[in-house]
Structure 1
Amino acid sequence: MDRERLARLSIFAAVVQAGGFRAAARTLGLSPSAVSHAVAGLETALGLRLLNRSTRSLALTDAGRALLDRVAPALGEIDAAVAEARDSDAAPAGPVRVTMTPLSAHALFAPHLARFVDAFPGITLDLVIDDRFVDTVAEGYDLGVRLGETLRPDMIATRIGGPLRMAAVASPAYLARHGRPATLEDLARHRCLHRRLGAGVYRWEVTRDGSDLVLDALPQTLIVNDDALLRRALCDGAGIGFAIESVLADDLAAGRLVELFRDLCPPFPGFFIYHASRRQMRPAVRATIDFFVAANRGATAAP
């Protein structure tokens, strides 16, 4: 492998991850002109334009995206191998960058962060809370935490936490005014409140007579991307909603919400912590996985 080309590929990947030449230069400890020259040299050597540049933005070309998709895992493998060799005789240390949803952050990580910091003072845990579906390799994450049904098949995943249930709910006041739906088909005549997930809207999925059903033709009275806002709207009687039961547990227990169609919403596996399929893993990343999996062992579904 041409060493100069390898260096240029690494700089190209850093530019994309940082979102610009100046930001990449700061990360790499190089001058912006050196970074720009390296990427331009790579484009010349390959005979391809990899990036579309303007004064305000930077975007991958189709060729650039295809190249990055191929080389990013290999570059990550090299970084992991070097870090593992460096840290083989030392306590786990260094940055661990994790992407996760708000619910997984608060339910699975927040209760254990103080103990983690005490146990691994050398690790810098960088948690990024984001509902959208993230390409952990392309965006430079060591780990991700998402529902198992959303994971790519090439990811290595370990279950973290117990099973979850979805729940269709409404307030007693809403049901008193509009009636309680007796069947799923009745939902078409009701106000339905939805949760945005990434770029889309979470689809209501239930199981009836042993078959999985997706209720994707429901009225969309309200769409939000925040659990607290959805809870407030439901408790205030805005309509019928569909959310993870544990998010609504306090409101259900207090009678502010009533569950509907409980027998059609069986438990599902829940969250997994995952990483790219690499042969080598830095000790800090392995320690993070092992700690939080163990800390959440024995968790059960909400009643």
Structure 2
Amino acid sequence: MDPRRFSDLITFSRVAETRRFTAAAQSLGVTCGKHAADALVWPAFSKLLAAHPDIEGELSVDDRYVDIAAERFDVGIRMRDNLELDMISVPVGPSLRSVVVGAPEYLDACKAPDTPRDLSRHRCIGFRNAGGILSPWSFERDGRTETVRVTSSIIVNDGDALVASACAGMGLAYMLKDLAAPFLQDGQLIEVLGNWSPPFSGYHAYYSSRRHPPPAVTLFLDLFRQEI
């Protein structure tokens, strides 16, 4: 082969490889659940893409746990206790709080519970998560934790349906306070067992510990660091 032709091939290969890495550095794939997307991720994601129009972004909203390595995402946003051990996690949001709520007409007919054990006497609205599991109701008071698996009179798998069922007086529901807040403010829902529901660690970003995060991931996480 002509040495000049061989040199041209090497140069072309290096340019192609450089372009490949540059393209990878300018892309950002993010996966998160619906609540995280609405409350936290979308504002930061849209702000990043507006400031850096050269970044090609993808936001996948999926409530199931996503293996970001297998599904080729750069970063995921989840609760810390749902993460694999080989992931690096970074807090990206404020503390959260779960609440038990019911409609005024339901609580007029049924005495409000004083302790989590009193839930056995109530109609409860269950939530089936993306993994197909009925979410337990967890409580804490004075350093003592208690998990209750309620008997559900109705089961839903969507946050909006959970709120709507509670507002319709179908029973007590357990949800993040963010979801209930507008309905607590306008009186459609009332919180019970409030002294059993302390704040807990909120959402974390996670990415693989096996590779250095791309520049776009660093820029994305920096936006959260400015807020917390």
TM-score of the alignment, normalized to the shorter chain, above 0.5:
yes
Aligned-pair identity (%): 34
For 1:156-178, what per-residue CA distance to the aligned partner results, in whole angstroms no more than 9, with x for missing partners?
Answer: 01101100000011011101122
CA positional deviation for 1:183: 2.4
Matched, 1:294 2:220: no
The alpha-carbon deviation at position 228 of structure 1 amounts to 1.0
Verify: 1:164 aligned to 2:96, yes or no: yes
1:236 and 2:171 are equivalent in the alignment? no
Letter in 2 for 1:238: M
1:201 corresponds, among 119, 134, 149, to 134
Q: 1:104 to 1:212 in 2, by over 3 A?
A: same
CA RMSD of aligned residues (A): 2.1
Equivalent-residue separation in structure 2 for 1:135 and 1:114 (angstroms): 23
Q: Which letter does structure 1 place at the counterpart of 2:134?
A: V
1:238-287 residue CA offsets vs partner (Å, 9 max, x unmatched): 10010000111111111111111111111001100110103422212222
Instruction: Find the residue that maps to 2:50 and give its secondary structure.
Output: helix
**Residues 268 and 172 from structure 1, CA distance in 2 versus in 1: closer, same or farther, beyond 3 angstroms?**
same
What is the Cα deviation at residue 84 of structure 1?
10
1:214 aligns with 2:147: yes
Q: How does 1:1-303 map to 2 (within 5 A)?
A: 86-87=21-22, 93-94=26-27, 96-199=28-131, 200-216=133-149, 218-291=150-223, 293-294=224-225, 297-298=227-228
Which residue identity is paired with 1:107?
A
Number of corresponding residues: 211
Residues in 2 aligned to 1:203 and 1:137: alpha-carbon distance in whole angstroms: 29
1:109 positional shift: 2.0
Distance in 2 between residues matched to 1:92 and 1:278, nearest whole Å: 16
Consecutive unaligned residues in structure 2, runs of 5 or more: 1-16
2:21 corresponds to which letter in structure 1? R
Higher normalized contact order (CA 8 Å, seq sep 6+, divided by chain length): 2
CA contact (8 A) 2:75 2:205 kept: yes
What is the TM-score normalised by the length of structure 2?
A: 0.85
| Counterpart-to-counterpart distance in 2, 1:248 and 1:283 | 37
| Partner SS for 1:246 | helix
Deviation at 1:92, TM superposition (A): 5.2
1:184, 1:83 → 2: CA distance? 59
Distance of 1:140 and 1:119 partners within structure 2: 24
1:207–1:265 Cα contact (<8 Å) kept: yes
Partner of 2:152: helix, strand, or coil? coil
